[in-house]
Amino acid sequence: MKVPKRHIFDYIIVGAGSAGCVLAHRLSENPNTRVLLVEAGGEDKHILIQMPAALAIAARHPRFDWAFLGNPEPFCDERRILQHRGKVLGGSSSINGLVANRGNPKDYDAWARKGLPNWSYSHCLEYFKKSETFSDGPNEWRGGSGPQSIERCPATHPLYQAFLRSGEQAGYEITKDQNGARHEGFHVAQSFTRKGSRCSAADAYLHPIRDRDNLTILTHTLTRRILFDDLRAVGIEAQTRGRSRCYEATREVILSAGAIGSPQLLMLSGVGDPAHLRAHDIPIVSDVPAVGKNLEDHPVVPIQYSTPDGLSISHRFRGFRPLGIGLKWMLFKSGLGTSLMSEAGCFFRSSEEVEYADIQHEFYPLTAQMGSQDANFDDGFMFSMGLMRPNSRGQVSLRSADPSIYPSIVYNYFASERDRKVMINGLRLTREMAKQKAFDGLRRHEVAPGSDVKSEKEILAWLRSNVSSEYHPCSTCRMGAGDNSVTNGEGFVHETEGLRIVDASIMPHNVTANLNAPVIMIAEKISDMILGRLPPQPTNQR
């Protein structure tokens, strides 16, 4: 492959999402290292992205969202699940719900027990700390000088306060920092914001270093395939506004296209299950049968209650009121425009048999149809209940050898009987929370699923007809050894050379958290591996 010198780089990073922004920042710190960052979407400086309260609109805007529509779900009434993924600088960190959670230490210790000893929580903690500046200041758990801003939400609305008190009244603990010494319990949320605005991975890692001479950023550029010399990745073929070019990588090609995009690009490039590749007439480079398999996601359902008139914040988004919210935010970076709408939450156990919390609530002082293609708010309050460690597994596969055709996605929500039981138990425990005295005078009646939905059969039917994604897909290129994995503990793709993946697809299993903070940590950690830096000593806080 002969390409112009200006198209030759040391590292090519595909995808400017959370991981890609971290990698671009860290790998370009050496001025003698040439880095190319390729993004299919465009620029992120837009009010819908920067104003936290506009998150539901940003996530559904065709300019910023891939809007992957899955296949009919076999265990969910053949419904097709919509998956919002960021197609913009910052990736999904530019359109997500802004909630900052790391997960439970036991999540990462489970990775270590699966043959990845350097991925225990004690090995990851320093990278979480390195990545962040926490508004409460640094301590043994938290960072105070990292690029990524994380702030504690105010949570002053009466419904947030009622939610927190209801947890105590129902017998749960209040944790002061769910990303610190205690993960489990009710908490005030933490957000990826800085002084009233969204702080995406692009804001934190990319924009401050965009003027580096050794960093080239291509937007509106779709990577069509990875180029190989035998088993070695040596570059990419990419298309910018209809024109294709080849770019050479002298050291590594790094995929950071996410749990859907990275396996799709591997398969388009000839890395995957040979039978599947032959079905699409794709020449086989490497036999890696697990590519696209083992898809995990957090299924979520909205448990909703009505409230007295004027209590829910939904009325503030009607008529001309949003104009006032937007104006106050633009002028002063204050008011409701700074809110992520879910300023309180909890992690709790679905039963006493569970080792640690396996259900998450994000609490909203309004209601919404979460899986809808349109942003929508209504009166009431809502527990957004997510299953954190599902047993069900899905798959990403090709529909076509054309890179512009979205892949086939099936999640298989509720394929596992255990998952069904956990969510049924979670709903019953949530109803107990909502019955507490803290909500007296603030709650009227149960709207969804409704008090008439009582038996296991009725609850399961409601779950199947109302479940949607919490937008946390992962594990389609999971780290490990053997045929059920795609990458090793450093992100290198099996049976290839010079090719890594750094994004949520390499997570061995999902974690008890929203995924942005874990992905940033993963990228920080693998950046050190790429650069040959010694990792910090493991920290054993528990």
Strand pairing category for 271-272 and 299-305 = unpaired
Tell me the whole-structure pTM to 2 decimals.
Answer: 0.97
For residue range 281-307, list pLDDT tens digits in order.
Answer: 999 999 999 999 999 999 999 999 999
Mean pLDDT in residue range 372-379: 68
Q: Could you read off the pLDDT of 54-83 as tens digits, one per residue?
A: 999 999 999 999 999 999 999 999 999 999
The model's pLDDT over 10-39, given as tens digits with 9 standing for 90+, comes to 999 999 999 999 999 999 999 999 999 999
Q: How many whole angstroms from its chain centre is CA 293?
A: 18
Whether the per-residue pLDDT at 375 is higher than 90: the answer is: no
pLDDT in the model for residue 319? 86
Contact 1, 235 (CB under 8 A): yes
pLDDT tens for residues 143-194? 999 999 999 999 999 999 999 999 999 999 999 999 999 999 999 999 999 9
Let me know: does 430 contact 166? Beta carbons within 8 Å.
Answer: no
Between the alpha carbon of residue 249 and those of residues 32, 113, 513, the distances in Å are 14, 34, 34
The span from the CA of 256 to the CA of 105, in Å, is 24
Using pLDDT thresholds of 50, 70 and 90, give the confidence band for residue 369: confident
Residue 248 has pLDDT above 90, yes or no: yes
Torsion angle in degrees (nearest 10) through CA of 411, 412, 417, 420? 60
Residue 417 · residue 391 · CB < 8 Å: no
Let me know the angle formed at the C-alpha of 122 by 521 and 178, rounded to the nearest 5 degrees. 65
| Mean pLDDT along residues 227-237 | 98
| DSSP class of 204 | I
Mean pLDDT of 212-224: 98
- The pairing of strands 190-191 and 148-152 is antiparallel
Domains of the chain: 154-188+299-387+414-466 (3.30.410.40)
pLDDT value at position 368?
82
Distance CA 360, CA 358 (A): 7
**82-122 pLDDT tens trace:** 999 999 999 999 999 999 999 999 999 999 999 999 999 99
Residues 45-59 have a mean pLDDT of: 96
Burial (CB < 10 A; 0-12, 13-18, 19+), residue 513, is: buried
Look at residue 315 in the predicted model and tell me its pLDDT.
86
Once rounded to an integer, what is the mean pLDDT over residues 403-413?
98
Buried b (16+ CB within 10 A) or exposed e, 63-75: ebbbbbebbebeb
Query: Using H for helix, E for strand and C for coil, what is the string for 498-542?
Result: CEEECCHHHCCCCCCCCCHHHHHHHHHHHHHHHHCCCCCCCCCCC
Q: 240 has which bridge partners?
A: 221, 243
- Residues 499-530: pLDDT tens digits? 999 999 999 999 999 999 999 999 999 999 99
- 317 — pLDDT class (breaks 50, 70, 90): confident
Largest CA-CA distance found in the chain, in angstroms, rounded: 72
Catalytic residue annotation: 472
pLDDT for the residue numbered 6 = 73
Placement of tokens 């942005």 in the chain: 516
pLDDT bracket for residue 2 (50, 70, 90): low
β-pair type (8-14, 243-255) = parallel
b (16+ CB within 10 A) / e for 409-445: bbbbbbbbeebbebbbbbbebbeebbebebbeebbee
Q: Which residues contact 69 (CB under 8 A, 6 or more apart)?
A: 80, 81, 82, 83, 406
The rounded mean pLDDT for the chain is 96
- Give the helix, strand, coil percentages of the chain, each rounded to 5: 30, 25, 45
Distance CA 394, CA 509 (A): 13
Whether 126 and 539 have beta carbons less than 8 Å apart is answered as yes
What is the pLDDT, as a whole number, of residue 376? 61
Q: Is the pLDDT of residue 541 over 80?
A: no
Q: Vertex 363, ends 357 and 368: CA angle to 5°?
A: 125
Q: Where does residue 334 rank: exposed (0-12), middle (13-18), buried (19+ CB within 10 A)?
A: exposed
The share of the chain scoring above pLDDT 90, in percent, equals: 93
The b/e string for 312-329 (b: 16+ C-beta within 10 A; e otherwise) is bbbebbeeeebeebbeeb
Residues 458-475, mean pLDDT to the nearest whole number:
98
